[in-house]
Amino acid sequence: MYYHTPNTSQFVMFIRRFRAAVIALFILFSIGIFAFIKPELISSDTFFWLSESKQFEKTTQQEYTATYVGRLSIKTAVFDETTKLQLQSLQTELEHQVGVEQVESLFATHMVFNDQTSEESAIVKALPIGSLSAPKMVTFVRAFPEPYTQFVNDDFSEFHFFLHSQNPIQIDKMNIPFEHRYSEPVVEAQLGHYLWYVGVIVLVIVVMSRILFRNYIAAFGAISVTILTLIWTFSIMYLLSGSNQIHIAMSLMVVSISIGHYLYFYYRWHVSQFKSDSNRALEKSINRNLHPAVWTLPVLILSLGSLLFADSKIVTMLSLSLMVSSAVAYIINIVFLPALLSFFSVKYPRIGFARICYWFANREIHYNPKILKGFMILTAVILLSIVTRLAISPDGFFDKHVSQNTITLKVPFEEIDLETLQKIETFEHELRKYNKGIEKVDSVVTILKRLDMANKPQTSFDEQRLLQALFFLELYDLKQAYIDKDALKISITLHNTDQSAVIRWLEEYKGLPIYFTDIESLSESSKMDKTLLLAFSSLSALLMIGLIMGIIFRSAKIGFVGFVANAIPIIWFILFMMVCDFELSIEALIAMTISVGLTSDTIIHFGYKYFRSRYFGRTRKHALEIMFFYSGVPAITSAVVLMSVFALLTLTQLQSLQLIGAYGAILMFISLLSDLFILPILLLAVDKNSEQELITRS
Amino acid sequence: MIYTIKPISSFLLVLLSLWCFIAIKAEGKDLSTKKMVALLEPIEQHAIQYGEGDIKVYVFIDPKCPHSRDFISMIFENQKMRTIYRYHIYFYELKRFNSHFLIGAIYSAPSPLQRMLEVMVGKKEITSAQNSDVKIEEKIDDIKRVAEQIGVSKRPYLIVAKEWD
């Protein structure tokens, strides 16, 4: 129970006696398992999601290759003959990049027209539009803009090139003589990304160590503990799952948990040296944190345990990262860390910043119950509206709004006949009817109709007209862009719409056998499968945390506090997402899962300190001061450190890491506010024991 | 009784008419390519054959028409288009080009295909006799008759037959 103080003096003495051996053992063992497992960093976010995509499996079974679709936007001051030639050269250069299969742009399109000298003497022609002079190009495109709108704007100042490639293209290595922007949704992580990621974490830890603790010991300890936690966690996960692949999100979870745990142990050792020597401080660090730290384990395991049985390796690995790292960090902090810290003592044990704790305690002891009640009612109303919206339109909740995007599909065929064309036309019609923001659907039907209409037909569309259009398609070598060996290519351009809704509609469409062939849609479809699962698991995790906390503290009220304190940041974060019209993406849910892990730790440490102090007869105010001093400071520090790390991650080029970073930083900020302003008041609210009763018991 | 039967019989009559219309329309559409090919088959020996593909393309051209020349040049330059399609080329004069005797000269050459390419792709000027062989005239007339039946309105005029035609 929280009022027991475990006797750890023998244990600490043992660790101090064999400290060199303990450190050596940990380091050698870690090097050994690291060499044995050879963890493999997943360089592409895409492979992580594609490995479980049902749509990707379907596409590869059909032996279709999936491609990356990137958009290069070029801005030009003026469009003249020189600019035209430069853009044409760029088109050729892009086409010759390794792995590029197709480059769609104005300079790859054809001008389809009826070349005639009289009514009797005429032929359908399809000339590359680039063969026209610059002024004629402008005139032609303005006269017939429809096929070219996605490639150039009205005043010919912005051109778009769509690159379909087997690998992500490194546009920054090309020499493009124009102002340009390249938007490729998925890129592979380079060594630079990892170095940036590691550099950010190390920098933030060192800065924190210098500012808060005025030494480098805290940084040295944090980095050592984090490295060991990472190695041990992924080794255990390898033994459990047989997979040595590590996604950057998994490592982020481990780092967060490790730093969160570490700070409670280190901080106690640091501040205890104000009154005691470093050895006694070491003992306090262990015996004051042993219980609350161990309680975080069942909370995490039971709350996220259900995710282990999810039919998804990705979700299992993510939840396993949190659970295993929590257990590993615990062992490292009670065995390795004391051995390491026993070599040091601190010069400045005083933490000036800790004074703020007394301010918080003084203010919050006189909380206004009416305001608390009002806040709780407001939060409940928000929760109710979220649940209602989730029940009415669960899909709409996870919208993925895109300003401009391309979905590419393949449809197997045996023969291009009237029936096939009719099916594609019906598909296009229904796609536009049931989905918003479909800017353009480009398929073999589009080009065949253009060729047919250029022939100025006088009869209704029949087989002969189709055969003639197919003839011209072959004659002008336009087939490659629309027809593969045994599949028709369909390209859908989206504009300001919910991409996930379109993908869902396409997945459920029965009129044609559809295969997604662009990596982003395939990866998005896989993420969509996991989103709902992770959302419901996070919700059930909140309930479980409340239940377990109730059991630990033997109080239903504290169980309720556990649930509410964890739920408040999530509820307000979802409200923030709704207000800002951000979709509840898988990245947001990963950030939520990390936050649940960290907040549950904070609640346990706060609850432990507060009720322990109350048990030993401290007044409510004094208990609050002790809670803030011993648990509040490490909680604030870890939140600030992780907020900084997550915020700096938004500067990377990996999109999913950017999103996890942004959402994580916001969520941690909301959690910190809740931990500082709401959680202590909730603890005061459920603590109805009179001062006298506690004094008598003590 | 009559009040019941009359509407029913009228309704059935409308249904029957509708069915006939749909059936005729479907039949007509199906026959269109087939019928044209059926008309062309008896004069296939008059055609200049070019290409080795499986799909037959019947082409009506005028040797002086610039677009017919464009078309033949494109076929000449495009080996792939000659391996996919087999062209049956018929000369059908456009009055304003006055190419009747040039057509006769091409047909009367030892290799009409070679001569046609020289004239239409190589832009070779050839002297054409002012009166042709009777057999060649008959050939030109046969082509003209079929072209009129089909309704060939411009040059080049294409009829693409499916592989099984």
Domains, chain A, in order of start with CATH, read 9-41+190-392+526-697 (no CATH), 68-183 (no CATH), 400-523 (3.30.70)
Q: Give the tens place of pLDDT for each residue, A406-419.
A: 999 999 999 899 99
CA–CA min distance B3, chain A (Å): 41
CA distance A446 to A270: 72
Residue of B nearest to A475 (CA): B81
In this complex, is the C-beta atom of A419 within 8 Å of any C-beta atom belonging to chain B?
A: no
Site from A115, A125, A417, A464 to mutate, B interface, most B CB atoms within 10 angstroms = A464
For residue range A76-130, what is the model confidence (pLDDT) as tens digits? 999 999 999 999 999 999 999 988 999 999 999 999 988 888 878 889 999 999 9
- How many beta-carbon pairs below 8 A join chains A and B? 58
Q: Which residue has the tokens 């002891």?
A: A365
Nearest to B154 among A122, A462, A468 (CB): A122
| pTM for this prediction | 0.72
Contact list, B30 vs chain A (CB under 8 Å)? 463
Report the C-alpha gap between A57 and A6 in whole angstroms: 54
pLDDT above 90 for A218: yes
Q: Beta strand A515-516 with B48-50: parallel, antiparallel or unpaired?
A: unpaired
**CA–CA distance, A109 with A128 (Å, rounded to integer):** 6
Assess contact for B87 and B75: CB atoms under 8 A.
yes
**CB spacing of B160 vs A115 below 8 angstroms:** no
Contact A464 B57 (CB under 8 A): no
Confidence (pLDDT) at B23:
40
Which has more pLDDT, A694 or A678? A678
| Kind of pairing between the strands at A68-75 and A438-442 | unpaired
The residues pairing with A70 across neighbouring beta strands, listed in sequence order, are A163
pLDDT band with cut points at 50, 70 and 90 for residue A292: confident
Give B157's pLDDT tier (boundaries 50, 70, 90): very high
Q: What is the pLDDT of residues A330-389, one digit of tens each?
A: 999 999 999 999 999 988 888 877 778 888 888 888 888 899 899 999 999 998 988 888
The CATH superfamily assigned to B40-160 is Glutaredoxin (3.40.30.10)
More confident residue, A276 or A468: A468
Q: From A459, which residue of chain B is nearest by alpha-carbon distance?
A: B29
- For A514-547, what is each residue's pLDDT tens digit? 999 998 888 888 877 777 777 777 777 788 888 8
Q: Name chain B contacts of A451, Cβ cutoff 8 Å.
A: none
Q: Do A120 and B154 touch (CB under 8 A)?
A: yes
> Nearest CA to CA, how far is B34 from chain A (Å)?
10
Residue of A268, A259, A258 whose CA lies nearest to A290: A268
Distance CA A491, CA A319 (A): 37
Q: What value does the mean pLDDT take over residues A235-245?
A: 86
- What is the distance between the alpha carbons of residues B99 and A117, in angstroms, rounded to a whole number? 17
Q: Quote the tokens at residue B63.
A: 């040797």
* pLDDT tier for residue B1 given thresholds of 50, 70 and 90: very low
Whether residue A483 has pLDDT greater than 70: yes
Residue A562 burial (C-beta neighbours within 10 Å; 0-12, 13-18, 19+):
buried
Beta-strand pair A245-246/A487-498: unpaired
> Phi and psi (nearest 5°) for A13?
-60, -45
Encode pLDDT of A257-272 as tens digits: 899 999 999 999 999 9
Residues in chain B closer than 8 A to A118 (CB atoms)? 96
Chain A neighbors of B154, CB-CB under 8 A: 119-122
> Which pLDDT score, from 0 to 100, does residue A128 have?
92
Cβ count within 10 A of residue A455:
18
CA A593 to CA A566: how far, in whole Å?
11
Strands (E), A223-331: 245-246
The answer to whether the CB atoms of B33 and A464 lie below 8 A apart is yes
Per-residue confidence band for B164, with pLDDT thresholds at 50, 70 and 90: very low
pLDDT exceeds 70 at position A44: no
Is the Cβ–Cβ distance between A509 and A430 less than 8 Å?
A: yes
For residue A542, what pLDDT is reported? 81
Confidence of residue B22 (pLDDT cuts 50, 70, 90): very low
The single residue listed with the structure tokens 């029949």 is A462
- Give the tens place of pLDDT for each residue, A570-596: 999 988 888 887 777 778 888 888 788
Which residues of chain A lie closer than 8 angstroms to B69, CB-CB?
none
The alpha carbon of residue B158 and the mean position of all alpha carbons in its chain are separated, in whole angstroms, by 6
Which band of pLDDT confidence, cut at 50, 70 and 90, is reported for residue B21? Answer: very low
Selecting from B33, B154, B160 the residue whose C-beta is nearest the C-beta of A471 gives B160
CB contacts of A475 in chain B (<8 Å) are 74, 78, 81
> Buried b vs exposed e over A342-351: b needs ≥16 C-beta within 10 Å?
beebbeebeb
* 8 Å CB contact of A475 and B81: yes
Residues 439-498 of A with CB under 8 A from B: 462-464, 467-468, 470-471, 474-475
pLDDT given for residue A516 in this prediction = 94
- A80 class by beta-carbon count within 10 Å (0-12 exposed, 13-18 middle, 19+ buried): middle
B60/chain A closest Cα distance in angstroms: 11
- Kindly list the distances between the CA atom of residue A532 and the CA atoms of A302, A404, A415, A529, A538, in Å, as whole numbers in the listed order: 20, 25, 40, 7, 10
* Complex-level ipTM: 0.82
Report percent pLDDT > 90 for chain A.
44
CB contact under 8 A, B67 and A117: yes
User: Does A123 reach chain B within 8 Å, measured CB to CB?
Assistant: yes
Any CB–CB contact under 8 A between A65 and chain B? no
**Maximum average pLDDT range among A639-648, B35-44, B68-77:** B68-77
Least confident of A23-27, A432-436, A598-602: A598-602
- What kind and span of H or E run contains A160? strand A158-165
Instruction: Verify whether the Cβ–Cβ distance B158 to A121 is below 8 Å.
Output: no
Q: Is the Cβ pair A474, B84 closer than 8 Å?
A: yes
Q: To probe the interface with B, which of A475, A476, A479, A483 has the most B CB atoms within 10 Å?
A: A475
Q: Is B73 on the interface with A (CB under 8 A)?
A: no
* pLDDT for B120 beyond 80: yes
The distance in angstroms from the start CA to the end CA of chain B is: 54
Q: Which two tokens stand for residue A485?
A: 């060996």
> Residue A31 has what pLDDT?
93
Residues contacting B142, CB < 8 A, separation 6+: B43, B46
What residue segments make up the domains of chain B, in order of their start? 40-160
Gap between the Cα atoms of A181 and A172, Å rounded = 10
Residues ≥6 apart with Cβ < 8 Å to B39: B146, B149, B150
